Amino acid sequence: MAVFVDRQQLENQLLQSEFHQFLGLELLEATDDHLKLKLPLKELFVTEGNYIHGGILATIIDIAGYFEVQKQFPKPAPTVNLTIDYLRAARREDLYVTAKTVKLGRSVSVVDVTVTNEENKIIAIGRGLFNTKQ
């Protein structure tokens, strides 16, 4: 699995988005094997129930999956389908999101994504399909 985009390019792409800057996302790792982002806590993400909003979790799962594909694919590969399982409430804490490619396909690619907290507990898992039609 070749990496077409280098780390600096990927980081630039990630941070080019005003929305990603607003979220405060950081690129931690982008290796052949996986991609890892960090989402530092913002008070805005926290609901009245004192947990991080499920929409924020869905958003970082989508972004991590997307950039994991982007790492290996020379064109934009829009999300086709996203499935998320919420396993444990995220409290006031930084989050980490790791994406691994399951299959880089000629039509559709599949990526597995895991959101963990500082203690490495799994908060949510997601699976994304991305359009990699050439």
Minimal distance in Å, beta carbon 68 to a copy of itself?
14
Out of 5, 7, 11, 108, the only residue in the binding site for a copy of itself (CB under 8 A) is 108
x/- letters, 28..47, toward a copy of itself (CB under 8 A): ---------------xxxxx
Per-position DSSP letters for 49-117, written without gaps between them = TSSB-HHHHHHHHHHHHHHHHHTT-SS---EEEEEEEE-S---SS-EEEEEEEEE--SSEEEEEEEEEE
60-79 binders of a copy of itself (CB under 8 A): 60, 62-63, 66, 76, 78-79
Examine residue 9 and tell whether it contacts a copy of itself (CB under 8 A). no
